[in-house]
Every structure is written in C-alpha cells, then in structure tokens.
Amino acid sequence: MRRVLLAAALFAVIPASATPALAQTPLRATPPDGFKFQSAQELDQALMTPERGRVYSGHVINDHENYWVEFMKRFDHGNMVEFHAHWIDYITVLSGEGSVTYGGTLTGAGPAVNGETRGGELSGPTVQPLKPGDYIQIPAGMPHIINAAPGQQLKFVLFKHRV
C-alpha cells in the first residue's frame, strides 16, 4: 500500500513541476530559430532592392520581440540620422569603407518605426572612419548615422537588442 501511495504521489508531483516549462510560449509566438544558412550570393541578391522610399537596403534574417539580425547596405548619400531610446546596435562591417557619425545634438528629426526617430541634423558629433572587420556598439539614446565613403557601398551586419 505504501508503494502505491508513493507512486501516486510521484505521478502527481512530476506533471505539476513540469507544467510551467511546458506552458511557456515563444515571444510574439515566433518559433525558435533553427539552423539557417544564406550564401553570400543570396545575401547580395537580397540587398539589391532598396527599402521603400530609400536608397539603402536591409535584409532581416530573424526578428524577435527583443532582438533581430539584419544585413545592411549603405551608400554615400540618402542615409538618415537614427535615434532609438530602447535599442542597442551591435555592428560589424563586412565590406567597403565609410564612417559612423555619432553623439552630439539631434534637431529636426521625426518619428519612425519601433520607437525610433529618424532624419534631422546632428551638431557637435564625433566621426569614426570604418573599414571591413570594424565593430561598432551604439548605445540606446545615442543619435548616429552610417555612411559609405564617396563612391562606395558599405555592407554590415546589425544585431539590434531591446533594452
């Protein structure tokens, strides 16, 4: 009888302790990422078409509530200052040369997606030249703009993290 009661108690406890783990759902109902491969040729092809109303392009690899990864291509013209209060940008330059202009005071910008502000002008910023292999970390709340050097394209991978 003791064995029956012990077995019954174990069967009651095990499902109850496993329920929270089983009950968790992915953020925004986005399934977990599996293995993913895209060739350099596929990424270049995806970056051929500019975003609507822009001269630069981006290709989102994955998109989750608190982060996403995007491959970007910028030119020496047509880029806008960005400011996002709740996103950190982690960037690695893949090819081309250019610069990131950051900090200073942003004026004349307007609202954009994901709580970002875009456009306007920076006064008193710092300019950092960029080349392949360089890494940039832009904290939330810092205005910035990334431009290719004259006559070049600048390609980079961006990991964006919500804070």
Identify the sign of the CA torsion 45, 131, 135, 54.
Answer: negative
Domain count of the chain? Answer: 1
CA count, 13 A, side-chain hemisphere, 29:
0
Q: In what helix (H) or strand (E) does residue 120 lie, and over which residues does it extend?
A: none
Instruction: Encode pLDDT of 31-79 as tens digits.
Output: 778 899 999 999 999 998 888 878 888 999 888 888 999 999 999 998 9
Q: Is residue 95 part of a domain?
A: yes
Q: What pLDDT does residue 22 have? A: 43
Instruction: Encode pLDDT of 125-156 as tens digits.
Output: 999 999 999 999 999 999 999 999 999 999 99
Structure tokens at 68: 């996403």
Structure tokens at 47: 């970056």
- CA dihedral of residues 116, 117, 119, 125 (deg, nearest 10): -100
Instruction: Encode pLDDT of 3-37 as tens digits.
Output: 544 444 444 444 444 444 444 444 556 677 889 99
Judging by beta carbons within 10 Å of its beta carbon (0-12, 13-18, 19+), is residue 151 exposed, middle or buried?
exposed
pTM of the model: 0.77
Q: Is residue 133 part of a domain?
A: yes
Q: What pLDDT does residue 34 have? A: 85
Q: What pLDDT does residue 62 have? A: 87
Q: Is residue 3 part of a domain?
A: no
Q: Is residue 30 part of a domain?
A: no
First to last CA, the chain: 55
Q: Is 19 in a helix, a strand, or coil?
A: helix
Q: With 70 as the cut, is the pLDDT of residue 161 above it?
A: yes
Q: With 90 as the cut, is the pLDDT of residue 80 above it?
A: yes
Return d(Cα 17, Cα 28) in angstroms, integer. Answer: 25
Structural domain including 132 reads 40-162
Instruction: Encode pLDDT of 81-112 as tens digits.
Output: 999 999 999 999 999 999 999 999 999 999 98
CA count, 13 A, side-chain hemisphere, 20:
2
Q: Where residue 46 sits, what CATH number does that domain have? A: 2.60.120.10
Q: Which residue has the higher pLDDT, 21 or 124?
A: 124
